[in-house]
Chains A and B, each alone.
Chain A
């Protein structure tokens, strides 16, 4: 079994390196160890989304039973998205769970994840807080996602409003990421975010 997994990953690796997405730079794949059981993926944030310009790192673990079971994938880069946990990076995507098919490859999975960034699915959320904001306050959601992309994924769009509020909490002695999570979760209401952290 393990033999099939390693062999197939090798072939996929070769195939993906020749693919136009890799050549065009929109996805990347790299090895983490020599047994081909762990890889590192990278997807570019799709254009016309808050993730545009960001680079998102993915942890890819290939189970011994691959391709009969899906690879285990999570975001290493922190991201604000209704189907990705803002805490652990865990992904809620059907093809990584019950809808996995052996004919899917790492390339198709990475492309699906890119598509997920373009079209979040708040009715099947991984992160309830993000999903709620996505549904009820799309403007704030876009701003928050863009801000996270700027801070964690190297996106070029600086959101000054967010930065200044995070700075305000930093001045109170709060950890930067904690401050950002609290502010993002409370729709950038400085008072409620502070209350939550100190209460």
Chain B
């Protein structure tokens, strides 16, 4: 019985939070020799273990239901053989007397620590101060509208309600117009966007699903929430845009790298069969006509993956400006030391006629091992070339179907012998 009351008492205190904590629970702090290490409260029905530790009987019982060890030093404990009532401590605690925490308010009660919680719960000084007024006043039910009358009984109020209908109606009217003004003012304060959002929110009401429109406060809260959401989404959108931009940048970089790699592969693995497409031919030709020292060089291509590397040179013949000159030049490679020098092989040119294939101009020459042009190149491109100084007539090339879509095609085949 005593125990139940104690329990009720502390449940009454808990919701009061820290203030209650300071005033009551904590003023009741036991000395460590009277404190249970499990509940940190005064030892209630103290027991002592064979390892010399004291607990409330209920605390150690609960603990040993799930564990076989002392909560303090982990020594094995059995409920049956290791736990003894500590009546000495029990008596010591019961001899203690404590002042009620409300002694400042006039309570003179002194109780044992174990009974303190129970006393606090029923202590007559433990009352909210406002509730000490004995008189009861019933306010008029029109109080929210502004009626200030109060009554001692329900009957008196009913009488008032009957007699003062007119003044209550006036109060209501005033309250109503005030509300209307406030409402209009808050509506006027909204910017157009807010009104728009509100209109959107009002829409479901027209279906009759909701009988009353939500109060303005809720609506503004909703709008605020929606705005916040919009801002968050816009922010996220922007972040995603940045991510996408980064990724597309990477992609185009990859594409460029891939193309470059492809071109290099083509040049290295063409096995001496190189097709040189000269685009924007007209512009290039004009530039060459203006300056006869201007020459067009093809990229370097290989006779085999680790073989000789050649490029083709097309220019206007310096001896006879009516002719194109066409030469091949050896180029340095990383394998030059492994190759045999001078180069020995067959070189064929085809000036492709893109309109009349049968008119394509074909020429084949053999390398001449005595020439500088076929010895190991000392510079990136060997200064000496090999080919024709008067290869084709300018006018012929321009007019007779060799140039199509502003592209001139020269096919070169170089084979080692």
Interface residues of A (CB under 8 A from B): 1, 3-4, 6-8, 10-15, 34, 36, 67-69, 101-105, 171-173
Asked whether B25 lies within 8 Å of A11 as measured between CB atoms, the reply is: yes
Interface status of B209 (Cβ within 8 A of chain A): no
Q: List 27 A-B contacts (CB under 8 A).
A: A3-B11, A6-B14, A7-B10, A7-B14, A7-B25, A7-B39, A7-B41, A8-B39, A8-B41, A10-B21, A11-B26, A11-B40, A11-B41, A34-B17, A67-B38, A68-B63, A69-B66, A101-B67, A101-B72, A101-B74, A102-B38, A103-B71, A103-B72, A105-B40, A173-B244, A173-B247, A173-B250
Interface status of B59 (Cβ within 8 A of chain A): yes
> Which B26-79 residues have C-beta < 8 A from chain A?
26, 29, 37-41, 59, 62-63, 65-67, 69-72, 74
Q: Hey, which chain B residues are within 8 Å of A36, CB to CB?
A: 14
Question: How far apart sit A36 and B17, CA to CA, in the bound complex (Å)?
Answer: 9
Q: Mark B219-245, 1 if CB is under 8 A from A, else 0.
A: 000000000000000000000001110
Q: Within the complex, what minimum Cβ distance (angstroms) separates A175 from chain B?
A: 9
Q: Hey, which chain A residues are within 8 Å of B25, CB to CB?
A: 7, 10-11
Question: How far apart sit A8 and B10, CA to CA, in the bound complex (Å)?
Answer: 12
Q: Within the complex, what minimum Cβ distance (angstroms) separates B397 from chain A?
A: 50
Interface residues of B (CB under 8 A from A): 7, 10-11, 14-15, 17, 21, 25-26, 29, 37-41, 59, 62-63, 65-67, 69-72, 74, 242-244, 246-247, 250
User: Chain A: which residue is nearest B53 at the CB level?
Assistant: A103
User: Chain A: which residue is nearest B72 at the CB level?
Assistant: A103
Q: Hey, which chain A residues are within 8 Å of B63, CB to CB?
A: 68, 102
Q: Hey, which chain A residues are within 8 Å of B247, CB to CB?
A: 173
Question: How far apart sit A34 and B19, CA to CA, in the bound complex (Å)?
Answer: 12
User: Chain B: which residue is nearest A10 at the CB level?
Assistant: B21
Q: Within the complex, what minimum Cβ distance (angstroms) separates A97 from chain B?
A: 12
User: Chain B: which residue is nearest A11 at the CB level?
Assistant: B40
Q: Hey, which chain B residues are within 8 Å of A67, CB to CB?
A: 38-39
Q: Hey, which chain B residues are within 8 Å of A14, CB to CB?
A: 21, 26, 29
Q: Hey, which chain A residues are within 8 Å of B244, CB to CB?
A: 173
Q: Within the complex, what minimum Cβ distance (angstroms) separates B65 from chain A?
A: 8
Question: How far apart sit A1 and B61, CA to CA, in the bound complex (Å)?
Answer: 13
Question: How far apart sit A12 and B250, CA to CA, in the bound complex (Å)?
Answer: 57
Q: Hey, which chain B residues are within 8 Å of A173, CB to CB?
A: 242-244, 246-247, 250
Asked whether A172 lies within 8 Å of B62 as measured between CB atoms, the reply is: no
Asked whether B69 lies within 8 Å of A172 as measured between CB atoms, the reply is: no
Question: How far apart sit A105 and B69, CA to CA, in the bound complex (Å)?
Answer: 17
Question: How far apart sit A132 and B71, CA to CA, in the bound complex (Å)?
Answer: 34
Q: Within the complex, what minimum Cβ distance (angstroms) separates B90 from chain A?
A: 20
Question: How far apart sit A38 and B308, CA to CA, in the bound complex (Å)?
Answer: 79
Number of A-B contacts (CB under 8 A): 69
The 6 closest A-B pairs by CB, nearest first: A173-B246, A102-B71, A103-B37, A103-B71, A11-B40, A173-B243
Question: How far apart sit A187 and B244, CA to CA, in the bound complex (Å)?
Answer: 28
- When A11-B25, A68-B62 are in contact, do A102 and B242 touch as well, CB less than 8 Å? no
User: Chain B: which residue is nearest A100 at the CB level?
Assistant: B67
Q: Within the complex, what minimum Cβ distance (angstroms) separates B15 from chain A?
A: 7
- When A7-B10, A102-B59, A172-B250 are in contact, do A12 and B40 touch as well, CB less than 8 Å? yes
Q: Hey, which chain B residues are within 8 Å of A1, CB to CB?
A: 62
Q: Hey, which chain B residues are within 8 Å of A12, CB to CB?
A: 40
Question: How far apart sit A171 and B185, CA to CA, in the bound complex (Å)?
Answer: 50
Given contact pairs A7-B41, A68-B65, A102-B38, a sample of 10 additional A-B residue pairs in the complex whose CB atoms are under 8 Å apart: A3-B14, A4-B59, A11-B25, A11-B40, A13-B21, A69-B66, A101-B72, A102-B63, A104-B71, A171-B246
Q: Hey, which chain B residues are within 8 Å of A3, CB to CB?
A: 7, 10-11, 14
Q: Hey, which chain A residues are within 8 Å of B65, CB to CB?
A: 68
Q: Hey, which chain B residues are within 8 Å of A105, CB to CB?
A: 40
Q: Hey, which chain A residues are within 8 Å of B29, CB to CB?
A: 11, 14
Q: Within the complex, what minimum Cβ distance (angstroms) separates A24 from chain B?
A: 22
Question: How far apart sit A15 and B40, CA to CA, in the bound complex (Å)?
Answer: 10
Question: How far apart sit A102 and B243, CA to CA, in the bound complex (Å)?
Answer: 52
Q: Hey, which chain A residues are within 8 Å of B74, CB to CB?
A: 101
Q: Within the complex, what minimum Cβ distance (angstroms) separates A96 from chain B?
A: 15
Question: How far apart sit A172 and B59, CA to CA, in the bound complex (Å)?
Answer: 59
Q: Within the complex, what minimum Cβ distance (angstroms) separates A169 from chain B?
A: 11
Q: Hey, which chain A residues are within 8 Å of B37, CB to CB?
A: 102-103
Q: Hey, which chain B residues are within 8 Å of A15, CB to CB?
A: 40
Q: Within the complex, what minimum Cβ distance (angstroms) separates A173 from chain B?
A: 4
Question: How far apart sit A36 and B14, CA to CA, in the bound complex (Å)?
Answer: 9
Question: How far apart sit A107 and B401, CA to CA, in the bound complex (Å)?
Answer: 95
Q: Hey, which chain B residues are within 8 Å of A101, CB to CB?
A: 67, 69-72, 74
Question: How far apart sit A1 and B37, CA to CA, in the bound complex (Å)?
Answer: 16
- When A7-B39, A102-B71, A103-B37 are in contact, do A34 and B15 touch as well, CB less than 8 Å? yes
- When A10-B25, A14-B26 are in contact, do A103 and B246 touch as well, CB less than 8 Å? no
Q: Within the complex, what minimum Cβ distance (angstroms) separates B24 from chain A?
A: 10
Question: How far apart sit A172 and B247, CA to CA, in the bound complex (Å)?
Answer: 7
Kindly identify which residue among A7, A34, A102, A172 contacts B246, using a CB–CB cutoff of 8 Å. A172
Q: Within the complex, what minimum Cβ distance (angstroms) separates B57 from chain A?
A: 13
Question: How far apart sit A8 and B59, CA to CA, in the bound complex (Å)?
Answer: 12
User: Chain B: which residue is nearest A173 at the CB level?
Assistant: B246
Q: Hey, which chain A residues are within 8 Å of B243, CB to CB?
A: 173
Question: How far apart sit A103 and B59, CA to CA, in the bound complex (Å)?
Answer: 11
Question: How far apart sit A103 and B167, CA to CA, in the bound complex (Å)?
Answer: 69
Kindly identify which residue among A6, A10, A103 contacts B38, using a CB–CB cutoff of 8 Å. A103
Q: Within the complex, what minimum Cβ distance (angstroms) separates B323 from chain A?
A: 55
Question: How far apart sit A129 and B38, CA to CA, in the bound complex (Å)?
Answer: 38
